[in-house]
Amino acid sequence: METGLKHRSVLVTGASGGIGAATVRLLNAEGAHVIAAGRNQERLSALSKETGCETRVFDLTSEDDVRSALSDLNPYGVVNCGGWGGEIATPMDANIEVFDKVIDINARGTLLVTKYASQRMVESGKGGAIVNVSSQASLVGLAGHVSYASSKGAVDAMTRVSALELGKYNIRVNAVNPTVVMTPMSEWYWGRDDIGKPLIDAMPLHKWATEEDCAGPIVFLLSDAASMITGVCLPIDGGFTAV
């Protein structure tokens, strides 16, 4: 499959995390010029040494930071992968400060990057593609995820509205909605038999996603092979939301 991404500039936020880093590696393999962004300079530097990607450090919650970091970029593609999981809590005991922070990073941060990146993309007149990394949590009810699910529901809505608004500039906007990626960070919760087993038993493929499972569809949606796809929220969930 010809992706058309060779020599094209793609910004990936959250690149110091698993899905973001896997996306950077796959884009690099496709010959794209990748700008890997995040808050962990040490991890970004290691990724740059491995792939040759450019790096930028900025805070997704700061409009000044985002505006400044993107002011000299001319991206063809954007992957909004920066995010934070927050807490496990019900609506009855949710910490509102945590809720505000999750919304600030996941939803507001995605909008800020979209805002300033799309301005540059429109100015270039070359079209492009934006992929937002959402979550299965925005598509189904997951106990304990009221803050995280709310933030990703906002990302899904943002994806559809952005697709509508930016389509006239030949800029496509889509989202991917991964299931659990079993990292050491998620193992403590989803690795429990009483929590993770019912979900994976109900999943037709009966396995957790990997970072690479998520990176592939992201790169596809950025590519010319998806040139007629926009406004879509694509589950990467082993069929969980289909049953």
The reply to whether 91 falls in a domain is: yes
- Residue 237 placed within a domain: no
Please indicate, yes or no, if residue 132 is contained in any of the structural domains.
yes
Q: Are 211 and 14 in contact (CB under 8 A)?
A: no
**Residue 238 included in any domain:** no
Average pLDDT over residues 188-209: 94
| Catalytic choice (116, 152, 169, 189) | 152
Residue owning tokens 């945590």: 98
Residue 222 exposed, middle or buried by CB count within 10 Å (0-12, 13-18, 19+): buried
Residue 148 annotated in active site: yes
Question: In whole angstroms, what is the distance from residue 151 CA to residue 108 CA?
Answer: 9
SS3 67: helix
- Checking if the pLDDT of 185 tops 80, the result is no
152 is catalytic: yes
Enter the pTM of the model: 0.97
Tell whether 240 is covered by a domain. no
As a whole-number percent, the residues of the chain with pLDDT over 70 amount to 100
Exactly one of 49, 148, 189, 207 is catalytic; which is it?
Answer: 148
184 pLDDT exceeds 80? no
% of the chain surpassing 90 pLDDT: 95
Residues 61-72 have pLDDT tens digits of 999 999 999 999
**What CATH number is associated with residue 186?**
3.40.50.720
The SS3 assignment for 226 reads helix
Which domain range does residue 55 map to? 9-227
Q: Which of 26, 85, 31, 78 is nearest to 56 (CA)?
A: 78
Distance CA 127, CA 91 (A): 41
Q: Is residue 106 part of a domain?
A: yes
Q: Tell me, yes or no, whether 243 lies in a domain.
A: no
In a domain, 157, yes or no: yes
pLDDT tens track for 166-178: 999 999 999 999 9
- Number of domains within the chain: 1
